[in-house]
Structure 1
Amino acid sequence: MEIKTIDTTKQFSKEDQKFESLFFAPSSNIQPINSSNNIIIIIVESFLSYANDLYFNGKAITPNLNQLKKENTYYFSHILPQTKSGESSDGQIIYLTGLLPQTNKITVVNYSDNQYISFPYLLKQHHKIQNSHMIIPTNSNFWRQNKMCATYQIDSLFSRNDYHSSNIWLNDEEVFELAATKNLTAQQPFLSIILTSSTHSPYNETVEVPEHFDFPQDYSCELKNYLTTLHYTDKQIGKYIQFLKDNNLYYNSMIIIVSDHEAHASNLNLSPNQEHIAKEIPLYIINPPLEITKSPHDTIQQIDIFPTLLDLTGIQSPWRGVGRSLLMPDFIANSPHEKERRKNAQKISDIIIRSDYFKTHQIINKSYPNQAVILSQ
């Protein structure tokens, strides 16, 4: 990689420099991980924690996900969504770069030419994977997915263009079928990122002929349709998990299942006393190489997932996002420096994105002490 010196005075002000000491925080709790496991991240559209362990007339809304919690899985139900107007694309930014999206702008529209220290990039730099790919239900250029895929340094993007379907968007059955074919032929270990779409609003119908659930009378039609469609999505996740098991990909893969953002109360037509069910999203970490001692009852933020992924893959990097790893000891989490970082998470993110900080500054990768790294080829 070429080392460049660029004048950044117009983009990075003296006021910004006051926060620069908070940008980087190498982890002191990284453990060496020599395994060569695949990493699969499933980002489920508008997935609410509320739906887990929810039964009507004896039938579970998410039976397959409920079963996964009984396997080698850490489950957290109190994740606070932090996306802005960019919605699903914001979720990807948070998980893949550890940054919070811009508050008043759609980040992928205004800052798609930026360069970021992303999770796929770090996995490659640290020789954790051979290749990476993303599966999306839309056309490749929808919401600039093709552009952002390259920005995140993901090797391959597979979309509706790669699956013969009459649907405008691939439904979740088609998405996971496409993912399965690409997983099967990918050189291991790989990173696979899968985006679902069937539970996207509006909720005026269901994807397939619904099973009968005896919903309470005060449930709106939209909420009933949402839960019934989520039951369909859960079925497709179950089929995909079984595919992984049948093809010897399950036990040598760390699987992350998370939501891109909440299903908004207004889209679900919730009454005021029901709005609390749309506040939190879930996180599943399946087959992690390390024990996670964080209480499943603790409140977690979306930005905490990026540094957690770094810890779970044994990556030591100066850039760890603006969140707090679930593996971080309390004495570090409660240190003045970490409290200040968390307090200023949005400001730090704003400065880095607005100034295109990673492009215009040299970043030293601790795993390559003699190499100054800037994210430009």
Structure 2
Amino acid sequence: MNLTNLKVSIIEKLKVQLTRNTILRIVFYLLLVISITLKGIYFQGFVGSKTPYNFSFGTGYSSVSPFMNYYIAFAVVFLSFTLLFKGKGKWIFPLIINAVLTFLFVLDLWYFRGFQTVPSVIVATQTANLDNMSGSILSLTTKLDFIFVIDFLVLIPYIIVFRKSFKKVKSNFKGFAAAFLISIIYIGYVPFNINVLGNKDVKNSYLFSNYDATNTARYFSSIGYHLFDVYNTYKDLKPYKLTADEQKEVKDFYAKKNENLPDNSYKGLFNGKNLLIIQVESLENFVIGQKADGQEITPNLNKLLNNSIYFPHVFEQVNEGTSSDSDLMVNTGMLPLRKGSTFFRYPNRDYISLPKLLGEKGYESTAIHPDKGSFWNYADGLKGIGFNNFIDYYSFNPDEVIGLGLSDETYFKQVVPMIKKMKQPFYTFTVTLTNHGPFELPDKYKELNLTGELKDSLLGNSFQTVHYTDKQIGMFLNELDKNGLLDNTVVVIEGDHTGVHKYYNDKVNEMKNPENWWLDNNISSVPYIVYQKNYNNPVKIDTYGGQVDMMPTISYLMGVDESKYINSALGRNLLKTNKSFAYLTNGTLRGTLSKEDQDLYKQVFDISDKMIKSDYFKNYTDK
């Protein structure tokens, strides 16, 4: 073979080798795009199922297929940066990106199982909430979640076998620019037409005018949702000022909401008495008055109904702030923000609140939390609402911890002497913790003798923890009574949000022989009990309402002048209304409303957002 033929042969072999290496690299990148896109389908396969703990690829694909191009475009946006690397970076960087995005999908899924929505970036600032939460987080996982990492079983061996194909490969800025820009142009085409060119009729414009986090994640995958969320969160950092039209919108809402009905016998019924609110963790109304294997689940709460005004149809309206959202609604009559925790984002807003209104009547107000003040930013949030005093975990002797924190027994035992020292009249807001999912109670405290399917089931365990909490509430009230405090005190007992049906409804549905009351249509309701030891006209109010209605109802009973809160609370007085309804956080209507009222109350979530963001009561009302 002469020299010329040898050169030709070498060049041909190099060409073949280069072509082979190029193909191997392209296949690797295509596998990455496909795997990241599939993870979006997997996510929707859980979210779209009857329960997010089960998986259906068909459901996920049918949900995603109309938006597949966006899923691919967002994957390419991230992977395009691979072209800026050389050598080993060509495969190390995309594997890292894939791992990060995989973690994002899995985190969104776990969060969705807990809150029925996907998290905002704002949640990442709430790391204080992770204290003692490991058990609750693990309860939101399933063995099926491994499908999100199956691709690594292919990609890693692929790299091990073909890693030499990535050697001596240079960075490719032009390739990066082309891949990145084409993807961005595709993604940005619709919003550019809407916001820059003013073309409101462009096809698929609804995708970009949607404010529901779960839908946004469906349209653009978790990747796209979080990019939009970061942008919207950045915009929200700027001071929010209401336009003249928005101010009119708020005032018009109150004008239409107010029913102007005559007063009744409930007005000022408990005027001048102390007020004690017990907010019970994850307490659902469906257990009140019920028995499990012939045993009363809540015997003490059942007994209290003999001297109470009882509202069995008050529905949960918390959002991403969960328990802290309940603190907000019960005390202000405002709805929580649609994104993030109100206490974290705006802890020092001005409200027309229950502690302030009672403060005008000479009440000293105290919030007593078994949590640390940093959890849900309770310390700043409750002080912002207007409480004179805030007591948290650090004021207690943590001699017994169950699950999330202080056991209800040690908490209530230590609260009694605190209340004894309070100057009357007082308003005291207390909170329990033990009845928190996944409802893990030491065996020595399990007093219900459950058998069969209920024994050791998650539903049965929830009955055990709520029975335990019910017992501690009974002992707490007995101690207050022994100290002569109940005669002049109104006790309000309410649930901060639902529990076993909120987070573990799939486990309830899996029970082979369910009883009808487990599956009641009102499973999204929390009990709302107004107890007074000497009140001998027990009544059950069947009016439908939401947590936002608790504050104006309590205010009416406590003799607060209605004019002081009727144009501030977004809720209504359930003892003085002809309307029986509640809108849930997801927009579902419980009860009945006229078409005109439906149109009115559907705005309330957006109105509350605007009022809180703009600090409405400080900046837009007369002092």
Return the match for 2:250 from 17, 20, 45: 20
TM-score by length of 1: 0.83
Return the match for 2:557 from 296, 312, 315: 312
> Given the alignment of the two structures, is residue 326 of structure 1 paired with residue 574 of structure 2, yes or no?
yes
Which whole-Å CA distance do the structure 1 matches of 2:443 and 2:493 have between them? Answer: 21
Return the match for 2:343 from 91, 94, 108: 108
Does structure 2 conserve the Cα–Cα contact (< 8 Å) formed by 1:264 and 1:278?
no
Does structure 2 conserve the Cα–Cα contact (< 8 Å) formed by 1:199 and 1:233?
yes
Which whole-Å CA distance do the structure 2 matches of 1:250 and 1:296 have between them? Answer: 23
Matches within 5 A, 1:282-293: 282-287=527-532
Does structure 1 conserve the Cα–Cα contact (< 8 Å) formed by 2:319 and 2:337?
yes
Which whole-Å CA distance do the structure 1 matches of 2:599 and 2:542 have between them? Answer: 24
TM-fit CA distance, 1:362: 3.3
TM-fit CA distance, 1:215: 4.5
Structure 2's unaligned 5+ residue stretches are: 1-237, 582-592
Shift of the 267–115 alpha-carbon distance from structure 1 to 2, 3 Å rule, reads same
- Range that drifts further, 262-271 or 42-51: 262-271
Matches within 5 A, 1:251-266: 251-265=487-501, 266=503
> Given the alignment of the two structures, is residue 350 of structure 1 paired with residue 609 of structure 2, yes or no?
yes
Which whole-Å CA distance do the structure 1 matches of 2:270 and 2:294 have between them? Answer: 44
User: SS state of the match for residue 330, structure 2?
Assistant: helix
The answer for the alignment partner of 1:161 in structure 2 is 394
Matches within 5 A, 1:217-256: 217=453, 221-256=457-492
User: SS state of the match for residue 314, structure 2?
Assistant: strand
The answer for the alignment partner of 1:280 in structure 2 is 525
Matches within 5 A, 1:1-377: 11-21=241-251, 22-23=253-254, 29=262, 31=267, 35-70=271-306, 72-125=307-360, 127-129=361-363, 131-166=364-399, 167=401, 169-206=405-442, 208-215=444-451, 217=453, 221-265=457-501, 266-267=503-504, 269-271=507-509, 276=520, 278-287=523-532, 296-316=541-561, 317-318=564-565, 319-330=567-578, 342-363=601-622, 373=623
TM-fit CA distance, 1:56: 2.9
Structure whose alpha-carbon radius of gyration is higher? 2
User: SS state of the match for residue 133, structure 1?
Assistant: strand
TM-fit CA distance, 1:204: 4.2
Amino acid across the alignment from 1:152 = I
Higher relative contact order (CA 8 A, sep 6+): 1
Deviations 1:64-117 (A, max 9, x none): 1111112x2112222110001110000011111101111122211111132222
User: SS state of the match for residue 372, structure 2?
Assistant: coil
Which whole-Å CA distance do the structure 2 matches of 1:89 and 1:198 have between them? Answer: 16
Structure 1's unaligned 5+ residue stretches are: 1-7, 364-372
- Range that drifts further, 93-102 or 335-344: 335-344
Deviations 1:32-81 (A, max 9, x none): 568421000000000011111222343211111111112x2112222110
TM-fit CA distance, 1:9: 9.6
- Range that drifts further, 10-19 or 80-89: 10-19
Which whole-Å CA distance do the structure 1 matches of 2:535 and 2:597 have between them? Answer: 23
- Range that drifts further, 106-115 or 231-240: 106-115
Deviations 1:3-50 (A, max 9, x none): xxxxx9951123412312224759765645684210000000000111
Amino acid across the alignment from 1:361 = Y
Q: Percent identity?
A: 26
Shift of the 195–13 alpha-carbon distance from structure 1 to 2, 3 Å rule, reads same
User: SS state of the match for residue 608, structure 2?
Assistant: helix
Shift of the 335–205 alpha-carbon distance from structure 1 to 2, 3 Å rule, reads closer
TM-score by length of 2: 0.52
Which whole-Å CA distance do the structure 1 matches of 2:290 and 2:281 have between them? Answer: 18
Which whole-Å CA distance do the structure 2 matches of 1:121 and 1:244 have between them? Answer: 25
Aligned length: 354
TM-fit CA distance, 1:150: 1.1
TM-fit CA distance, 1:122: 0.9
Shift of the 219–164 alpha-carbon distance from structure 1 to 2, 3 Å rule, reads closer
Query: Which structure features the higher share of helix residues?
Result: 2
Does structure 2 conserve the Cα–Cα contact (< 8 Å) formed by 1:292 and 1:326?
no
Which whole-Å CA distance do the structure 2 matches of 1:283 and 1:46 have between them? Answer: 13
